[in-house]
A = this chain, B = another copy of it.
Amino acid sequence: MKSGVDTAKASKAPAIARAAAVLRLLGKHGAPLGVQAIARELGLVPSTCLYVLRALVAEDLVAFDADTKRYSLDAGVLTLARAWLRKDQFNDLAQPALDRIAREFGTTAMGVQVFGLDHIIVTAMSQSGQNFQLSTQVGSRFPALVSATGRCIAAFGGYPQSELKPRFDQLRWDEPPSWEDWLAQVDDARVSGVAVDAGHYLSGVTVVAAPVWKGGRPSHALVAIGIGAALRNELPRLKEALKAAASALSGQIAA
């Protein structure tokens, strides 16, 4: 995955694109990496990569182990994340609604932020506290078009099918829907205002998502995720609850 680096050529500040790619790679890989390994993975020249790493180390964003000559993420990234969390209004506003939904329906409820057709990032979460729960972590990234959120984005984002199809073809599902089925489900979502993924993304798991609007586009979404069998009877109510909460948020954010 060299997605971070190919943006370097287009940009006027390639060093920054490279730095971001390095940070993401270190984050994804977990274990510390050497200069060469990083350069190879990202398609960079080792010497350039070394300068990027040194700059990141100077900023406390990357830690350098002088003995093993390995690099890994450092605590500086935390400082930035904390600052972001403190001032994001969607999070503050969404949390109470997520807590309520998680408690009432025994699901895991999440708030996600939409980044065009590229991906979504989980920015808030509430766990039901019940026995079995499906969990992700705040900060997780997913492809934009997958699962219920994907149908929301496709339904309300106003993208032409020609843009959706190639992205759709690259998605990974437990039980992949056909393109036609998927389009039909997207239409459903457009009509009802809520999207449902019934076991396609994860077998046996039902995901519901409702869009939160900002400036004529879905900028965020509220998502509930639970065991399909356990949810069946409550599904209509859950859909309405998510839709109502998302709609309320849309109004508050615009203000």
Contact = CB atoms under 8 A, between A and B. Distances in A.
Given A12-B54, A15-B15, A23-B80, 4 more contacts: A11-B55, A19-B19, A60-B121, A77-B77
A83 interface: yes
A115 B67 CA distance: 17
Most B CB contacts (10 A, CB to CB) among A30, A72, A81 go to A81
Give the oligomeric copy count: 2
> Contact size class for A?
35 or more
A60 B114 CA distance: 11
Contact of A52 (B16, B27, B82): B16
B140 A82 contact: yes
5 contacts: A7-B59, A16-B19, A60-B121, A78-B123, A82-B139
A137 B13 contact: no
Contact of A13 (B55, B86, B88, B138): B55
A229 interface: no
Contacts of A4: 59
Contacts of A12: 51, 54-55
Nearest to A121: B75
